[in-house]
């Protein structure tokens, strides 16, 4: 249900690499959330967890032209998180969820998912 890959890069290196790859891609960064900082405001602790809301406007348009209800799953989120002392970059595999919403979304959803996998691969390279 989710796709993630571990890396030996530092958190800063991973973030910088992701932002550079996004700039070169058809995806645009919509917003960056730092959950760790937000929780610290409430005196709660959490290890690394950064969420990057990203959008490929071309695929988003395809999805929305088929079914405007797809907007509930947009934008896509790429996440940098720490688990058992390792850093990961990942995302929820949207193809299954979007296809459950409307089977006509499957082709565009798979294209979106493959492009996100390529973003992860290029970021970790």
Domain count for the chain, please give it.
Answer: 1
CATH number at residue 66: 3.30.310.70
Q: How far apart are CA 41 and CA 35, in angstroms?
A: 10
Give the number of residues written for the chain: 125
Which domain, by its residues, includes 90?
Answer: 2-124
**Residue-wise pLDDT tens for the chain (125 aa)?**
899 999 999 999 999 999 999 999 999 999 999 998 888 899 998 889 999 999 999 999 999 999 999 999 999 999 999 999 999 999 999 999 999 999 999 999 999 999 999 999 999 99
Dihedral pair phi/psi, residue 85, rounded to 5°:
65, 10
Q: How confident is the model over 64-93, as pLDDT tens digits?
A: 999 999 999 999 999 999 999 999 999 999
């Amino acid at each position: 249900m989710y796709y993630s890959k571990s890396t030996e890069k530092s958190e800063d290196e991973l973030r910088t690499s992701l932002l550079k790859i996004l700039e070169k891609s058809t995806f645009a960064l919509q917003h960056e959330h730092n959950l760790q900082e937000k929780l610290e405001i409430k005196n709660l602790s959490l290890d690394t967890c950064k969420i990057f809301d990203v959008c490929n406007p071309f695929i988003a348009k395809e999805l929305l032209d088929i079914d405007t209800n797809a907007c509930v799953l947009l934008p896509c989120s790429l996440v940098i998180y720490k688990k058992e002392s390792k850093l990961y970059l990942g995302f929820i595999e949207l193809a299954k969820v979007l296809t459950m919403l409307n089977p006509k979304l499957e082709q565009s959803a798979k294209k979106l998912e493959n492009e996100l996998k390529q973003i992860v691969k290029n970021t970790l390279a």
